[in-house]
Structure 1
Amino acid sequence: MGQQKNRGVAEVMARGKLLHMKAGNGECSYASSSTLQRKVILKAKPVLEDAIKKMVNSGEFPKCFNMADLGCSSGPNTLFTVSNVMKIIQRLCHEKSCKMPEFQAFLNDLPDNDFNTIFKSIPSFYQSLKGGANCFVSGVPGSFYERIFPTKSLHLVHSSYSLHWLSQAPEKIENNNSIYITRTSPPQVFEAYLKQFEKDFSRFLQLLSEEIVTGGHMLITFMGRSIRDPYGHHCAYLDLLSKSLIELVQEGLIEQAELDSFNWPSYAPYKDEVETIVHLEGSFDIDTLEFFQVNWDDRANDDDIYFDAYSSGKHVARTIRAVAEQMLVSHFQFGESIVDYLFERYAYHVACHLLVQKGKFFNIVISLRKK
């Protein structure tokens, strides 16, 4: 390990090429492997509905309601939130006997996102609209860690499963034996991740405070942790991915130096860390902050007596592959056959883990109001 650790990750990420989901409609694409994310969106929907209700009840509603979905990706979830927002407002307007506004929906993600697939789905989305609603959809490529919208132009901002991704992997991490934070990691590893998250989330809030109207709302859902301890089981899925990569090193398929120079560029914050950053940045009030869990295998129920660990391992591996493949290929420069083999190993390790204990993703949903 050395000073060069994660330089490759940071450089690729700076070009906006690291964190786009796997494109297309194949078996391992994000479009085909994003049922977990849809479940998370549905879990957070009551908080979204409450935020919109407060906006509708606060006074005069805009004639054109501008909303942005940050980290929209592509596939069946992309327009799902837009549709949910429109349905909620349509119902509330009907209850209050007020005129339905027009909608401007901005779909944002990094420039290498599969926007072509999104654009192809828009005509059918327009055809599905009911009740005379008018919606105008635009794609907005760019990082939400930079300004991407005009000043005071947005009434509602939504982001699901995007804000735990950092603008870059933490710098100057040495002597770590994993791709993330583990119990054997030196204390400075956790400190570096926390510092990067504090920097990124503060910047995100500051930028959005300029782009959201006074009284506008922002709803964010991201992976977090339920305990202060940063070394808990919330990151077990990454421990298993790290284990799979180590096995590739042992088999001579990738170099140790390549693994040493890779750090997973996301952070799962504790709720107190999130609250502290929001209060210190000062542009938003916290309306709601809630916590919920979903299974690694979103198809599985906790009381499922017919649980199939092997099937779940494959399903979880496909889900993580849809998110991580581009990042791994960009760093390790390996081909499709090695990617296949890596996630076969990963599916096996996930299955073994699930035979012993349930796998849970811990999530934070926070509703913020612009002061």
Structure 2
Amino acid sequence: MAFIQAIHMNPGQGETSYARNSSFQAPEDLTRNHIPAFDIDEHARRERLPMVREAYAQQFRKDFSLFLELRAKELVSGGRMVISLVGTCSNAIASKFILFPGIVAQILSVLVTEGVIDKAKFDSFYVPLYGPSSEELREIIEAEGSFSIREMRVHDPRTDMTTTLSTPARFVNNLRALFEPIIVQHFGKVMDEFAMAAELYWSLDASLQEERARTSRTMLAVSLAKA
């Protein structure tokens, strides 16, 4: 009988949880220089975007290379592994962050102006999520050298998107599913306020539905074999 092992991060907020123990939480260049990932001032944010994006890209390269190196030590020669992660459509589009982290930052910035969360805490919050393109992912895997790529697929989530799913409740649930643990860890119990602000954001931002429909977000799945 074939045996399949699923590997995942330890959930929750306990002492042994991934959230409390991972050292790969958003980028070293930004934290070292006290540069926020998302500046409330739009002009400053636009000026810093290339630097912030590059810091995230370099941190992802470092962390994902280490991930491959450590996983390779656990597998026999020829052992296989399948990885699925959020990505972007191409290197041309990857100059911008994928949609969700930017939206989360904008919603949290509203809570800053309302006094719900502290500005200093907001500035020190780095969403530990970067969406590489398939080209970036392939280059990192090949450069690290522990695995060969057997197959890589790019799935466009827009093919499964319907207007019935594009609702405020669905939008908020998606955000909570992705980001609630790290938001609560960093800011405390603010999810009720976050959910209300997110629903208001959805209803007031008429361009959001259009933006979501043309988002560059994709799902990357890659099958690897230990070299």
Q: TM-score, normalised by structure 1?
A: 0.50
Q: Which amino acid is the alignment partner of residue 95 of structure 2? A: Y
Q: Which residue does the alignment assign to 2:87?
A: 224
Q: TM-score, normalised by structure 2?
A: 0.79
Consecutive unaligned residues in structure 2, runs of 5 or more? none
Q: Is 2:203 aligned against 1:348?
A: yes
- Using the TM superposition, give the Cα deviation of residue 187 of structure 1 relative to its aligned residue in structure 2, in angstroms: 3.0
Q: Which residue does the alignment assign to 2:38?
A: 177
**Whole-angstrom distance in 2 between the partners of 1:348 and 1:166:** 36
Q: Which residue does the alignment assign to 1:318?
A: 173
Q: Which amino acid is the alignment partner of residue 10 of structure 2? A: L
The higher relative CO (CA closer than 8 Å, separation ≥ 6) is in 2
- Using the TM superposition, give the Cα deviation of residue 177 of structure 1 relative to its aligned residue in structure 2, in angstroms: 3.3
**Whole-angstrom distance in 1 between the partners of 2:99 and 2:6:** 29
How many residues end up aligned between the 2 structures?
214
SS at match of 1:272: helix
Q: Is the CA contact 2:13–2:185 (under 8 Å) kept in the aligned structure 1?
A: no
Q: Is 2:4 aligned against 1:67?
A: yes
- Using the TM superposition, give the Cα deviation of residue 221 of structure 1 relative to its aligned residue in structure 2, in angstroms: 1.2
1:42-61 paired onto structure 2 within 5 Å? none
Consecutive unaligned residues in structure 1, runs of 5 or more? 1-63, 72-108, 115-140, 147-164, 302-306
Q: Which amino acid is the alignment partner of residue 69 of structure 1? A: A
**Whole-angstrom distance in 2 between the partners of 1:290 and 1:208:** 21
Q: Which amino acid is the alignment partner of residue 6 of structure 2? A: D
Taking structure 1 as reference, are residues 289 and 213 closer, same or farther at Cα in structure 2, changes over 3 Å only? same
1:180-191 paired onto structure 2 within 5 Å? 183-191=46-54
Q: Which residue does the alignment assign to 1:367?
A: 223
The sequence identity of aligned pairs, in percent, is 29
Q: Which amino acid is the alignment partner of residue 101 of structure 2? A: L
RMSD, aligned α-carbons: 3.2
SS at match of 1:218: strand
Taking structure 1 as reference, are residues 176 and 282 closer, same or farther at Cα in structure 2, changes over 3 Å only? closer
SS at match of 1:315: helix
- The CA deviation string for residues 335-366 of structure 1, in whole angstroms up to 9 with x for no partner, is 45323323333443676411566154312111
**Whole-angstrom distance in 1 between the partners of 2:86 and 2:191:** 28
**Whole-angstrom distance in 2 between the partners of 1:327 and 1:369:** 32
**Whole-angstrom distance in 1 between the partners of 2:214 and 2:152:** 23
- Using the TM superposition, give the Cα deviation of residue 256 of structure 1 relative to its aligned residue in structure 2, in angstroms: 1.7
Taking structure 1 as reference, are residues 237 and 335 closer, same or farther at Cα in structure 2, changes over 3 Å only? closer
- Using the TM superposition, give the Cα deviation of residue 220 of structure 1 relative to its aligned residue in structure 2, in angstroms: 0.9
1:168-317 paired onto structure 2 within 5 Å? 168-173=25-30, 174=35, 176-178=37-39, 183-229=46-92, 230-232=94-96, 235-295=98-158, 300-301=161-162, 307=163, 312-317=167-172
- The CA deviation string for residues 79-112 of structure 1, in whole angstroms up to 9 with x for no partner, is xxxxxxxxxxxxxxxxxxxxxxxxxxxxxx2153
Instruction: Tell me which protein shows more strand as a share of its residues.
Output: 1
Of 317, 339, 346, the match for 2:194: 339
- The CA deviation string for residues 133-171 of structure 1, in whole angstroms up to 9 with x for no partner, is xxxxxxxx876xx9xxxxxxxxxxxxxxxxxx9822112
**Whole-angstrom distance in 2 between the partners of 1:336 and 1:320:** 11
Q: Which amino acid is the alignment partner of residue 205 of structure 1? A: L
SS at match of 2:139: helix
Taking structure 1 as reference, are residues 351 and 194 closer, same or farther at Cα in structure 2, changes over 3 Å only? same
- Using the TM superposition, give the Cα deviation of residue 218 of structure 1 relative to its aligned residue in structure 2, in angstroms: 1.0
Instruction: Tell me which protein shows more helix as a share of its residues.
Output: 2
